[in-house]
């Protein structure tokens, strides 16, 4: 029963059921919209997560490559130093004009 402007209106069972159905349909519509929004947000988050994973892999590879480059540079520097020392020794041995001291013979 609905009281409106001092009038009493009796609703039939069918009208009551129809109003309840409209409320339920509205509620379900709202739930569907919220679900769609959450699905869209989930899709964006998945895409973002995949991008972060790819970036992480690339960063990790870059980090590994940088470590390898540093090791290679250090190895090359050591080889260059040793090569320079050996070349210097050969130069002093092959340099016949260099004075020979007692310490050179030992």
Q: Which two tokens stand for residue 17?
A: 């059921």
Q: What is the mean pLDDT of residues 68-73?
A: 83
Other C-beta atoms closer than 10 Å to the C-beta of 46 total 10
Distance (Å, whole) CA 106 – CA 69: 41
The domains of the chain are located at 2-91
Distance (Å, whole) CA 49 – CA 35: 20
Distance (Å, whole) CA 34 – CA 31: 5
pLDDT band at 9 (very low <50, low <70, confident <90, very high): low
Distance (Å, whole) CA 2 – CA 10: 7
Task: Tell me: pLDDT of 105 over 60.
Answer: no
More confident residue, 1 or 13: 13
Q: What is the mean pLDDT of residues 40-59?
A: 82
Q: Given this model, what pLDDT does residue 103 score?
A: 57
Stated pTM of the model: 0.42
């Amino acid at each position: 029963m609905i009281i409106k402007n001092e009038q009493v209106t009796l609703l039939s069972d069918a009208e009551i059921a129809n109003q309840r159905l409209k409320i339920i349909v509205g509620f379900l519509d709202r739930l569907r919209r919220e679900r769609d929004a959450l699905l869209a947000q989930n899709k964006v988050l998945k895409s973002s997560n995949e991008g972060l994973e790819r970036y992480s892999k690339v960063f990790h590879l870059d980090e590994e490559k940088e470590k390898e480059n540093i090791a290679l540079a250090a190895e090359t520097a050591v080889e260059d130093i040793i090569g320079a020392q050996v070349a210097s020794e050969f130069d002093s041995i092959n340099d016949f004009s260099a004075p020979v001291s007692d310490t050179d013979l030992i």
